[in-house]
């Protein structure tokens, strides 16, 4: 949401997280997650609609057809992108719409100028002999025709775009020398030139993305550059470098969510330690967050060692709590049956010592009271045994 990029990936992550929480009957964070999900879906839809509108606008600028429909699409896209906070995208749509309107106005002005310049015919005013008119043609322009395919003018998948550009430029120059032009050839030249620009923009985005991946800095800017670069490349049919850019983008968009998840897992771990509850869930979440931290080589204000220490502490407290509860149950059984108190006392003593060592207070008073009762019962049993012994 901060980078205004990677909505598709974020939507999938949120959907999975919400489904997992609902499956575990956990409600914490779901309303906020669903609210963010709605905004992300709205942004993704706005971007998809913008791409459709911009494509229509580019086609219109090239063919000079469908201006009204393209302007309507762009106007709708401006409103939609603005409402979802996509200011940069809204400006792009606005610029495209202005270009279309300027073209439309220019065509209108040209038509008006031609209409006004047309001579007014005067019927039957003068008799003329035009059986053999003398006409001088102005051949200074170019004849529009379809020319054969230019060898080496098509992209072959490598980074040498100049070879195709040169081939087309030479062919266009030769055609003009012969007084003809081929619009398709000019469009291919524009397309190849655009692919070249896309490739170098994508290379710059990949370089920035790699730097962000190493330093874990400027991630949002790199995500925006990569997203724009991939979009432009795919729009022009460029394949070279796109797979690398997509892979890098997939890594970068995980960084901020992983950092947020690490901090959230630490917070849940602290709560579990203080309340001595849901420690199993906290351990699982923190384990996963720490593994992701290591995998992505994150750099956060809270270092990795804090998470690792908390995992060890949670594990020890959990084991101490389970042992204490088990020793309490065994002690109560021994008290009820009035037998086996010595083993129960030893077990309770060890559990109480471990609980005290990890500052575990829950159930500790119950264990201490039970220990006193067991010690008292054991003393009574020893007195009875001493009284029953034969006198020497």
Q: For the segment 338-392, what is each residue's pLDDT rounded down to a tens digit?
A: 888 889 899 988 989 998 888 888 888 888 998 898 888 888 888 887 776 555 4
Q: Quickly list H helices, 236-340.
A: 242-275, 279-296, 304-337
**Which of these ranges, 4-13, 137-146, 153-162, has the smallest mean pLDDT?**
137-146
Average pLDDT over residues 5-10: 80
Per-residue pLDDT at 102: 74
Q: For the segment 56-107, what is each residue's pLDDT rounded down to a tens digit?
A: 777 777 777 777 777 788 788 788 887 887 777 777 777 767 776 777 777 7
- Residues 199 and 165 sit within 8 Å (Cβ to Cβ): no
Average pLDDT over residues 137-151: 69
Mean pLDDT computed over every residue of the chain: 83
More confident of the two residues 244 and 135: 244
Average pLDDT over residues 322-333: 90
Average pLDDT over residues 255-278: 89
- Residues 382 and 355 sit within 8 Å (Cβ to Cβ): no
Per-residue pLDDT at 306: 92
Check whether 124 has a pLDDT greater than 70. Answer: no
Per-domain boundaries in the chain:
1-107, 303-386
Q: For the segment 216-235, what is each residue's pLDDT rounded down to a tens digit?
A: 888 889 999 999 999 888 88
Average pLDDT over residues 185-199: 90
Q: What is the pTM of this model?
A: 0.48
**Which of these ranges, 106-115, 187-196, 327-336, has the smallest mean pLDDT?**
106-115
| % residues pLDDT > 70 (the chain) | 90
Mark residue 29 as left, alpha or beta (left: phi above 0; alpha: psi -120 to 50; beta: remaining): left
Phi, psi angles (nearest 5°) of residue 144? -80, 125
Tell me how far apart the alpha carbons of residues 50 and 226 are, in angstroms, rounded to a whole number.
Answer: 18
Instruction: Provide the b/e sequence for 319-332 (b: ≥16 CB within 10 Å).
Output: ebbebbeebbebbe
| % residues pLDDT > 90 (the chain) | 20
Strands (E), 23-142: none
Per-residue pLDDT at 54: 79
CB proximity list for 154: less than 8 A, separation 6 or greater: 164, 188
What is the DSSP pairing of strand 180-181 with strand 143-144?
Answer: parallel
- DSSP-derived secondary structure letter, 177: H
Per-residue pLDDT at 58: 75
**pLDDT band (50, 70, 90) for residue 153:** confident
**pLDDT band (50, 70, 90) for residue 137:** very low
Average pLDDT over residues 171-197: 87
């Amino acid at each position: 949401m901060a980078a205004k990029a990677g909505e598709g990936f974020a939507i999938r992550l949120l959907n999975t997280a919400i489904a997992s929480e609902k499956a575990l009957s956990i409600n914490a964070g779901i309303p906020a997650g669903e609210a963010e999900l709605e905004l992300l879906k709205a942004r993704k839809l706005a971007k998809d609609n913008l791409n459709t509108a911009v494509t229509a606008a580019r086609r219109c600028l090239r063919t000079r057809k469908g201006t009204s429909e393209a302007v309507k699409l762009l106007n709708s896209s401006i409103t939609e992108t603005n409402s979802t906070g996509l200011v940069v995208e809204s400006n792009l749509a606005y610029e495209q719409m202005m270009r279309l309107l300027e073209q439309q106005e220019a065509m209108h002005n040209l038509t008006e100028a031609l209409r006004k310049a047309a001579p007014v015919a005067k019927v039957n005013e003068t008799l003329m002999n035009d059986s053999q008119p003398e006409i001088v043609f102005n051949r200074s322009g170019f004849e529009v025709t379809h020319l054969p395919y230019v060898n080496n003018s098509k992209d072959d998948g490598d980074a040498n775009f100049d070879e195709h550009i040169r081939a087309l430029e030479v062919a266009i120059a030769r055609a003009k020398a012969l007084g003809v032009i081929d619009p398709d050839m000019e469009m291919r030249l524009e397309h190849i030139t655009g692919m070249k620009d896309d490739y170098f923009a994508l290379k710059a985005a990949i370089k920035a993305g790699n730097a962000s991946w190493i330093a874990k800095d400027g991630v949002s800017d790199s995500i925006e550059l990569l997203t724009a670069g991939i979009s432009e490349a795919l729009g022009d049919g460029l394949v070279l470098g796109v797979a690398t850019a997509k892979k890098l983008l997939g890594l970068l968009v995980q960084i901020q969510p992983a950092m947020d998840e690490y901090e959230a897992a630490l917070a849940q771990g602290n709560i579990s330690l203080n309340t001595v509850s849901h420690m199993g869930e906290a351990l699982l979440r923190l384990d996963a967050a720490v593994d992701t931290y290591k995998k992505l080589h994150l750099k956060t204000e809270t270092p990795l060692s804090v998470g690792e220490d908390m995992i060890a502490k949670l594990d020890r407290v959990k084991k101490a709590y389970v042992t204490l509860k088990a020793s309490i149950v065994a002690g109560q059984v021994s008290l009820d049956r009035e037998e086996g108190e010595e083993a129960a006392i030893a077990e309770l003593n060890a559990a109480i010592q471990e609980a005290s060592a990890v500052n575990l207070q829950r159930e500790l008073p119950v264990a201490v009271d039970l220990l006193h009762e067991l010690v008292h019962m054991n003393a009574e049993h020893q007195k009875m045994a001493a009284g029953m012994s034969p006198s020497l």
